[in-house]
Amino acid sequence: MQITRTRRPVRVLSLTPLIDVVFLLLIFFMLATTFLDTRRVDVSVPRIDGGVGGIAGAFMISIRSSTQLELNGQAVSLEQIEARVRTRVRQNPGQVFQVFPDNAVRLQRVMDVLDRISKAGGRSVTLERQEAEIK
């Protein structure tokens, strides 16, 4: 006796649920991702006694306003700071660079200075308050 094999119909797999899920994933990632390249700059928190190597080797940058910068009391430009930091790092790689921003200066300005120090090879930076402003 010959038995004809029953032909099982090939069921077409429905793609719709797959597409639904993929769309949901897509929307999730579109909403949840940010393309901002966030990074960080390390800063030391100064101790209260402020003893970071004494006056002799001090490298103090004061940020007076958005245009005025002082290095150990002399007015300088951002470019000069970068050059001075570079020569100092060559002499003393462990040099601590103290940055004293005025209270009203915007953080972006402070970051511009930190950026220059970092670019010139300065690794150890502290953020401190101007002595005159400690009350």
Partner 1 sequence: MKLARPSRRRPADSVTPLINVVFLLLIFFMLTGTISRPDLLDIQPPKASAGTDEAAAGVRIQLSAEGRMAIDKKRMTLDEVAAAVAQRRLAEPTVKIVIAADGKAEAGKVLNLLDALRRAGVERISLATVRRR
**Contact with partner 1 (CB under 8 A) among 3, 10, 15, 132:** 15
Q: Which residue has the tokens 């080797």?
A: 57
**Contact with partner 1 (CB under 8 A) among 2, 6, 38, 87:** 38
**Contact with partner 1 (CB under 8 A) among 52, 89, 96, 114:** 114
Residue 59 contacts residue 72 (beta carbons within 8 Å): yes
Q: Is 86 in the site for partner 1 (CB under 8 A)?
A: no
Q: Is 106 in the site for partner 1 (CB under 8 A)?
A: yes
The count of chain residues that interact with partner 1, using the rule CB under 8 A, is: 47
Q: Is 6 in the site for partner 1 (CB under 8 A)?
A: no
Q: Is 74 in the site for partner 1 (CB under 8 A)?
A: no
Dist. CA 12–CA 60, nearest whole Å: 75
Dist. CA 109–CA 101, nearest whole Å: 9
**Contact with partner 1 (CB under 8 A) among 11, 108, 131, 135:** 108
Phi, psi at 44, each rounded to 5°: -85, 145
Query: By C-beta, is 4 or 131 nearer to partner 1?
Result: 131
- Return the structure tokens found at 89: 């790092």
Dist. CA 111–CA 105, nearest whole Å: 11
Residue 121 contacts residue 87 (beta carbons within 8 Å): no
Residues that bind partner 1 (CB under 8 A): 15, 18-19, 22-23, 25-26, 29-30, 32-48, 63, 101-112, 114-115, 118-119, 127-129, 133
